[in-house]
Chains A and B, each alone.
Chain A
Amino acid sequence: MLKSTLKASILFVLLAVTAYLAFYYAPIERTMGIIQKIFYLHVSSALSSFVAFSVCFYANLRYVFTRQAKSDWLGVSAAEVGLAFIFVVLITGPIWAHPVWGIWWTWSPRLTLTFVLGLLYVSYLLLRSMIEEPDKRALFSAVFGIFAFLDVPLVYFSIRWWRDQHPTPVIMGGPGSGLEPRMRVSYLLMWGALTGLLILLMNARYKLEALRASVEELRREAEVQ
């Protein structure tokens, strides 16, 4: 208990420091102005959600081959936390887009991909809630999770080819792109802090799922007796 409180406090301080850096240390962007500050949260959350969904895919594969309940717990934890981060992306995106592009939403490839990604994992969680039997739930949702993850590159390629009109990536986008050094430091730190948050949340969710599984098992034993 003390240990987790300590971890959470450290993370809180880290998040506060990165927020300070993003607002005061990193310079204000020339054309977009202050609204560009949302970039630090928006892009870092997107990257963190991809990390979470990759963990979910790994856990799904692991479950299919090893059948350990632990992998199932990891899968559901990663999917839920990843979805939380995707919601942050989908909320901060329009807030950023409205003053800059003049619209809340556009069906550009990256936005469509994020949206579909969110829907895929909402379906994953819904499916879990619809299957009663724990082993079956774990196995079927793992197979669906694998299918969903394999779909992501296909969605990406199809929309990229369909409407290749989005702005070229600013980060890792080739020559001429790139962040101002102070922006880069703030951005990387923010991503680090959010990844810390991701791990903390996933860990808490994993423990909750383990507890839930043991409660379920106890209840079943009580019913048998």
Chain B
Amino acid sequence: MALLSNTAVLLGKELRTEFRSRELLTTTVVFVLLIFMIFSITFHPTTTESQQFGPGLLWVAFLFAASLMLQPCFLREQANDTLSALRLSVSDPFAIFFAKLTANTFFLLLTELLMLPFFAGFFNVRVFAVLPQLIVVFFLGSLGIAIPGTAFSAICAQARMRELMLPLLLLPVLTPILIATTEVTAALLQPEPSMNFAGLAIITGFDVVFLTALWLFGEYLLEE
């Protein structure tokens, strides 16, 4: 119970910090728009081509945006020297991770939902008929990105060249998420949409495995 109440308080702090400045959301939204534009300029896709490559592009954009968005997660605590205070204030250090990864999942999901209408408009993809299913995939996918992302953000905050290290650690680990989310999204965006449950199972499995690993080993990343 202490875990949940601690997490709730810390989550409130994360959300307040972000919504005061809205720095993360603004940068990632602009970044995703840039990726959409760069894709269109470099590949000149026809309508069928953009429908074919759209789901992949969408998740590449989300993944890159996430590797930007996750950077300041622990760096901010370090810059303000608040990590020790945080650690002292909670009974279970996992609460710090749990709050941060919930906040990151939420911000990612928000970015993804904000970008969806642009994606639909730019690439002539019909998304609104399958919106509830897409939200499920976006949620599970964002959670899968946020779990290792938050852990590696804690690691990179203490490394040299930290801005470069996070994508290098994160992107290879996220291969299963990238494959599965892209395939599930592609199946949903077909003219006759279908839910790819095998893919969904892989995403859920990834979430469960890494959440357990973070719960078991996360506290070691907060040691001084």
Interface residues of A, Cβ cutoff 8 Å to B: 64, 112, 116, 119-120, 123, 126-127, 130-132, 136, 139-140, 143-144, 146-148, 150-151, 154-155, 157-159, 161-162
Contacts and interface: CB of A to CB of B under 8 A. Distances in A.
B160 interface: yes
Contacts of B205: 154, 157
B198 interface: yes
B207 to A, nearest CB: 10
Contact of B155 (A140, A151, A162): A140
Nearest to A142: B220
Interface residues of B, number: 31
Contacts of B159: 127, 130-131, 140
Contacts of A161: 198-199, 202
A194 to B, nearest CB: 25
Contacts of A158: 175-176, 179-180, 202
14 contacts: A127-B155, A132-B160, A140-B155, A140-B158, A144-B152, A147-B148, A147-B151, A147-B213, A150-B210, A150-B213, A157-B205, A158-B180, A161-B198, A162-B183
Interface in B139-185: 148, 151-152, 155, 158-162, 165, 168-169, 172-173, 175-176, 179-180, 183
A123 B198 CA distance: 29
A147 B173 CA distance: 8
A64 B220 contact: yes
Interface of B: 148, 151-152, 155, 158-162, 165, 168-169, 172-173, 175-176, 179-180, 183, 198-199, 202, 205-206, 209-210, 213, 217, 220-221, 223
Contact of A127 (B165, B202, B206): B165
A162 B175 CA distance: 12
B175 A151 contact: yes
B206 A154 contact: yes
Contact of A154 (B152, B199, B202, B221): B202
Contacts of B155: 127, 140, 143-144
Nearest to B147: A147
A144 B160 contact: no
A143 B150 CA distance: 13
B160 A154 contact: no
Contact of B169 (A127, A150, A157): A127
Contacts of B202: 154, 157-158, 161
Contacts of A150: 209-210, 213
Given A140-B159, A155-B176, 6 more contacts: A112-B175, A130-B161, A143-B217, A147-B173, A158-B176, A161-B198
Nearest to B148: A147
A56 B194 CA distance: 41
A151 B221 contact: no
A131 B152 CA distance: 13
Contacts of A159: 175, 179
Contact of A139 (B173, B199, B220): B220
Nearest to B159: A130
A139 B213 contact: no
Given A157-B202, A161-B202, A151 B220 contact: no
Contacts of B213: 146-147, 150
A132 B158 CA distance: 9
A127 B161 CA distance: 10
Contacts of B169: 123, 127, 144
A155 B179 CA distance: 9
B48 to A, nearest CB: 22
A116 B217 contact: no
A56 B203 CA distance: 26
A143 B158 contact: no
A162 B173 contact: no
**Which of A64, A144, A148, A158: most chain B Cβ within 10 A?**
A158
A143 B175 contact: no
Contact of B172 (A116, A130, A136, A162): A116
